[in-house]
Structure 1
Amino acid sequence: MEVAEIQPWLFQIAPLEGESISHFLGRFRRANDLTPTGLGKAAGIGGAIARWEKFRFNPPPTPQQLEALAIVVGVDTDRLKQMLLPLGVGMKMEPIRLCAACYAKSPCHKIEWQLKVTQGCGRHKLTLLSECPNCGSRFKMPALWVDGWCQRCFLNFFEMTKYQKAI
């Protein structure tokens, strides 16, 4: 009798509106108890996951890499592209930025917050935060945002809204 190879199954996670690739990959990995290396191996794209979670897109993801990732995470390739930067638009890899008012409504990191052209939140007309207003700690990469609070002093992101200034 021949033993069939068992295919692993994964929990599927729906992307949130405007969510960055870093935040989505972190949520997917936690739901499936995967490391960046483990997800990269499952998709056959090596260390790309760790780079993308840090917003390092040089070289940019290839169509083949995105297709391989799409199969593993169960998300359409076009939807994955929406989580990346629009072509020809510059981005800030650091510091990681946050609109606490947006996060309170939809708890995810938005890719638009990292665009160089983004000076503040267009929806709320508030400045973006790049560090915790309570302790001054810079925000970790969105893939590590588990509970929606500062990883140093535990101030909730939604409570940071009162520290954002009008633009």
Structure 2
Amino acid sequence: MEVENIKPWLFRVQPYQGESLSHFLGRFRRANDLTPTGLGKATGLGGAIARWEKFRFNPPASRQQLEALATVVGVDADSLEEMLAPARVGMNLEPIRLCAACYADSPCHKIEWQFKATKGCDRHKLHLLSECPNCGGRFKIPALWIDGHCQRCFMRFTEMENYQKFVEV
């Protein structure tokens, strides 16, 4: 058997309900010890992976690109498309926002938190956080969220719920 015929295997990562593509790509890459460049090469998408992790979708991800990504990550293209903001919905690239109460229920970044129209969490009736309430540091891109804490002071996201204010209805 020749070495060229050995195909690499990858660990599968199941997406969370409502998870953003940025967060999913970061989890997938860490599970498989890949860099954005390595995943870009494996999928044939090059620098698109790094752009998508930063919520840069100009040009938007095509169906063909999502299918190429789906082949490698083992998640169907329709599920990957759900991790993107719908075309009719505007997105905030920055700041990265978080509902600590939602994160406590499901440890992932939700794509809806980045929608321009989203002012707070509909489920918990709380304002979204855009910085750590302990140190004031802005949240990193979700692809870099490793253990669910502020990367500056290490305050856990789940502890931040006490600092979220209620949304007035």
Q: Could you say whether these structures have the same fold, taking a TM-score greater than 0.5 normalized by the shorter chain as the test? A: yes
Using the size of structure 2 for normalisation, the TM-score is 0.97
**Cα distance, 1:2 vs. partner?**
5.5
**Cα distance, 1:88 vs. partner?**
1.2
Q: Which runs of 5+ in 2 are unaligned?
A: none
Distance, in Å, in 2 between the alignment partners of 1:149 and 1:14 is 21
Q: Number of residue pairs matched?
A: 167
Distance, in Å, in 1 between the alignment partners of 2:59 and 2:50 is 13
| Other-structure match for 1:155 | 155
Q: Specify whether residues 41 and 162 from structure 1 end up closer, same or farther in structure 2 by C-alpha distance, changes over 3 A only.
A: same
| Other-structure match for 2:89 | 89
Structure 2 letter corresponding to 1:93: L
**Cα distance, 1:3 vs. partner?**
5.4
Q: Specify whether residues 131 and 37 from structure 1 end up closer, same or farther in structure 2 by C-alpha distance, changes over 3 A only.
A: same
**Cα distance, 1:87 vs. partner?**
1.7
Using the size of structure 1 for normalisation, the TM-score is 0.98
| Other-structure match for 1:109 | 109
Distance, in Å, in 2 between the alignment partners of 1:111 and 1:143 is 12
| Other-structure match for 2:127 | 127
Structure 2 letter corresponding to 1:72: V
Q: Which runs of 5+ in 1 are unaligned?
A: none
Distance, in Å, in 2 between the alignment partners of 1:139 and 1:97 is 7
Runs of 4+ that moved beyond 3 A: 1-4
1:3-152 paired onto structure 2 within 5 Å: 5-152=5-152
Distance, in Å, in 2 between the alignment partners of 1:162 and 1:63 is 41
Distance, in Å, in 2 between the alignment partners of 1:90 and 1:142 is 18
How big is each residue's C-alpha offset from its partner over 1:69-124, in whole Å with a ceiling of 9 and x where there is no partner?
00000000000000000121100000000000000010000000000000000000
**Cα distance, 1:46 vs. partner?**
0.6
